[in-house]
Amino acid sequence: MEAGDRPARLSVGVLGAGKVGSALGAALRQAGHRIVAASGLSDNSQRWAAERLGVTPSRPDEVVTAAQLILLTVPDDALPDLVGGLAATGADLQGKLLVHTSGAYGLSVLDPAAKRGALPLALHPVMTFTGRDDDLNKLTGISYGVTAPDALRPIAEALVIEMGGEPVWIADSDRALYHAALAGAANHMVTLIAESSDLLGRIGVEHPGRMLGPLLGAALDNVLRLGIAGLTGPVVRGDAGTVRKHVDALILAAPEAADAYIALARLTADRALAAGLLKPEEAERLLDALGGNIWT
């Protein structure tokens, strides 16, 4: 394959046919590419290889031999060893698209394979995958954090668009910060909501999700449309007394949650002050209620 070509119908192999690999492989299959091989260690991966990708699970070396495009959809920590192993074993990588889906890594993790002639791409789908059957439907309209050599940008863009996504170009040096921003928003949101649900459950609320759903939906809509200007609640109002009551209640009920509340309330006050939503004197009272000044 020439580096500047738009991808024709490709033979695709998946190394790691888990939640992400089986969903992206199915999306490429739906776009007309041919899934020829897949590997996976877990029972679920082997089942998804058969059910979602239509192939019998193979050894990794067989996947590489059979495919023109190889998806590397393994956990982040396993990616360097996988790439290094492919290069060290002398796998035929010449002219083959080697695509990893890690958000944290850029192109350098693929260097050992690129030195053996592989064409490196980083395509990170900005979506959570649960292994449920609706994972494939979630891919429509999502963003992909894309990092690619200049000559391969048309191929990367075409692959993302074929899977129903929108390519967003991320510089190689920015991948760690890019992924930190995404993980901080998505993962910490889950933790915060789970913690809030548990606290509500402790005081007898039978359906915390039903109570939180409309509130959180409105808050998410506000911040996505308005940014920090969509902030509501006692911090932006400067209600130091209320914030202190929150802290005192959390210290008694869930000390570990109190630490998180204080840290986030300070960050909220800092951003609200910088945006002109909070007066300096109100910020000082809030910070006193939270246990001290955060500015140096």
Q: Are 200 and 222 found together in one domain?
A: yes
Last residue of a domain, one of 170, 196, 216: 170
Q: Are 166 and 182 found together in one domain?
A: no
**What CATH number does residue 205 fall under?**
1.10.1040
Q: Are 38 and 150 found together in one domain?
A: yes
Q: Are 55 and 163 found together in one domain?
A: yes
Decide: helix, strand or coil at residue 7.
coil
pLDDT tens for the 296 residues of the chain, in order: 544 455 678 999 999 999 999 999 999 999 999 999 999 888 889 999 999 999 999 999 999 999 999 999 999 999 999 999 999 998 899 999 999 999 999 999 999 999 999 999 999 999 999 888 889 999 999 999 999 999 999 999 999 999 999 999 999 999 999 999 999 999 999 999 999 999 999 999 999 999 999 999 999 999 999 999 999 999 999 999 999 999 999 999 999 999 999 999 999 999 999 999 999 999 999 999 998 544 43
> 153 burial class (0-12, 13-18, 19+ CB within 10 angstroms)?
middle
Q: Are 188 and 112 found together in one domain?
A: no
Q: Are 181 and 40 found together in one domain?
A: no
Q: Are 181 and 166 found together in one domain?
A: no
Last residue of a domain, one of 135, 170, 205: 170
Task: Domain of residue 129: give its range.
Answer: 11-170
Pair 38, 25: CB distance under 8 Å: yes
Decide: helix, strand or coil at residue 102.
coil
Q: Are 55 and 18 found together in one domain?
A: yes
Q: Are 140 and 220 found together in one domain?
A: no
6 domain-assigned: no
Q: What is the dihedral angle through the alpha carbons of 158, 152, 8, 29, rounded to the nearest 10 degrees?
A: -60
Q: Are 32 and 132 found together in one domain?
A: yes
Last residue of a domain, one of 138, 170, 202: 170
